[in-house]
């Protein structure tokens, strides 16, 4: 490839996809890249020349996907990884070191929780839990060794919403970055940086993949944070696009080896093109369904921050607009009631994953959180009588009918 087109790939929002001008970015199913001279090769490997060298480090198809995300989000740095967990673990490993602490909540996605308390804690990184809906409690936990506040913008499956502006206000003077998992509301609908998020991590497996085709993750760096406040990243403060992204790209992600594959980047680039339309439809259906489910016999509570009576309604409206995502949770009488109900569904699929084109339903306590003890589940706010529903592209009528009929049969 010519130097020129390589530079374009790195620099501009919608680069010419490839040397043939393919309208859809091809899958560059290649591992290594050839150079005309030893000098060019040396320059590429040392970073003074913007060429691809090896597909664990960069790949044209993956970079195209990253550039498109960058164009949508106006971020300064975007890295695509091979799962949401890879995005979360790489981001945390870039920020943390022995002796530092991470402040977060117990209301976290199961593997994120396990990564923090089981995996990274073994490297002498302290995990401090607090109530993220209470900024005063957060302040109590922060000190000079805090390397990040890690939050999920809407927790899954507890459906708790944090006030990001309030959190960012307490973090800023203390020099601690706000790291947010925004998987539940995509960046086409929610501008994380405007609410004080410094680093966004996403499981692109969910909304972006769309059809449930592939695992993927994204780390999005908004270039807002002053890394001279970070004891660990201070030495890289002058690097581009930021100390955080420099450390991530030059070292952590290539050493861990969890870069996105070109096949996945291809599928997820396609997903990106339809994301705003799918999201608009799925979140609106979810909002309507949440209202209607409240009236059904047997449903004890519906948890969706877009409901006017919801505890987080105001902050959610401010951050995410009228329809905060396409996931809701609802409570029935007991675990047995949940199981009977799930077994009677005809349209909604019993499966994990979120934001597939098809509606998916799961009993989190017995599945995703099945490996935790009842006490841990209680602390994490995962209840035995609760069901999580991810709303797809079906009509609200057909989904409501399916739920209503299954509830009637499951009594």
Ligand X SMILES: *Cc1c(COP(=O)(O)O)cnc(C)c1O
Binding site for ligand X (CB under 6 A): 83-85, 109, 111-112, 152, 156, 181, 183-184, 203, 205-206, 215, 217, 354
Sequence-distant (≥ 6) Cβ neighbours of residue 64 within 8 angstroms: 9, 15, 17, 25, 265, 269
CB 197 within 8 A of CB 182: yes
Write out the two tokens for 129.
């839990």
Q: How far is residue 276's CA from residue 278's CA, in Å, rounded to a whole number?
A: 6
Indicate the residue whose CB is closest to ligand X.
84
Q: How far is residue 242's CA from residue 245's CA, in Å, rounded to a whole number?
A: 5
**CB-nearer residue toward ligand X: 181 or 402:** 181
The separation between the first and the last C-alpha atoms of the chain, rounded to the nearest angstrom, is 65
Give the residue carrying structure tokens 């509606």.
Answer: 359
CA atoms within 13 A on the CB side of 382: 27
**CB-nearer residue toward ligand X: 47 or 211:** 211
Angle of the 262-293 helix axis to the 396-409 helix axis, nearest 10: 60
Number of Cβ within a 10 Å radius of residue 97: 16
Give the residue carrying structure tokens 């199913």.
Answer: 29
**CB-nearer residue toward ligand X: 171 or 360:** 360
Strand, coil or helix: 60: helix
**CB-nearer residue toward ligand X: 84 or 210:** 84
**CB-nearer residue toward ligand X: 156 or 285:** 156
Identify the DSSP state of 304. -
**CB-nearer residue toward ligand X: 246 or 279:** 279
């Amino acid at each position: 490839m010519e130097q020129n087109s390589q530079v374009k790939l790195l620099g501009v929002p919608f680069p010419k996809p490839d040397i043939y001008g393919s309208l859809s970015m091809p899958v560059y199913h290649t591992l290594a890249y050839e150079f005309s001279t030893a000098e060019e090769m040396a320059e590429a490997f040392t970073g003074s020349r913007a060429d691809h060298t090896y597909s664990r480090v960069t790949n044209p198809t993956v970079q195209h996907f990253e550039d498109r995300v960058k164009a949508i989000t106006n971020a300064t740095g975007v890295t695509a990884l091979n799962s949401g967990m890879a995005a979360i673990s790489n981001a945390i490993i870039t920020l943390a070191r022995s002796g530092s602490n991470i402040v977060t909540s117990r209301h976290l996605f199961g593997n994120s929780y396990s990564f923090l308390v089981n995996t990274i804690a073994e490297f002498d990184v302290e995990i401090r839990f607090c109530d993220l809906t209470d900024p005063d409690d957060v302040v109590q936990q922060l000190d000079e060794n805090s390397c990040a506040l890690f939050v999920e913008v809407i927790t899954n499956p507890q459906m708790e919403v944090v006030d990001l502006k309030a959190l960012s206000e307490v973090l800023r003077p203390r020099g601690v970055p706000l790291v947010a998992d925004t998987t539940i509301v995509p960046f086409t609908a929610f501008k994380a940086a405007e609410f004080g998020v410094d680093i966004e991590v996403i499981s692109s497996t969910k909304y972006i993949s769309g059809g449930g085709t592939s695992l993927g993750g994204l780390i999005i760096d908004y270039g807002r944070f002053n890394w001279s406040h970070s004891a660990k990243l201070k030495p890289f403060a002058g690097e581009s696009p930021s100390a955080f992204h420099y450390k991530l790209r030059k070292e952590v992600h290539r050493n861990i080896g969890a870069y996105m594959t070109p096949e996945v980047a291809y599928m997820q680039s396609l997903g990106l093109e339809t994301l705003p339309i799918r999201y608009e439809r799925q979140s609106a259906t979810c909002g309507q369904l949440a209202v209607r489910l409240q009236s059904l016999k047997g449903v004890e509570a519906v948890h969706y921050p877009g409901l006017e009576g919801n505890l987080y309604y105001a902050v959610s409206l401010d951050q995410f607009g009228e329809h905060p995502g396409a996931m809701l949770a609802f409570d029935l009488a007991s675990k047995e009631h949940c199981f009977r109900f799930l077994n009677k569904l005809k349209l909604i699929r019993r499966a994990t994953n979120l934001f597939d084109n098809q509606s998916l339903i799961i009993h989190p306590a017995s599945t995703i959180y099945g490996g935790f003890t009842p006490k841990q589940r209680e602390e994490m706010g995962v209840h035995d009588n609760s069901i999580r529903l991810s709303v797809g592209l079906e009509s609200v009528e057909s989904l409501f009918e399916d739920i209503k009929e299954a509830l009637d049969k499951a009594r």
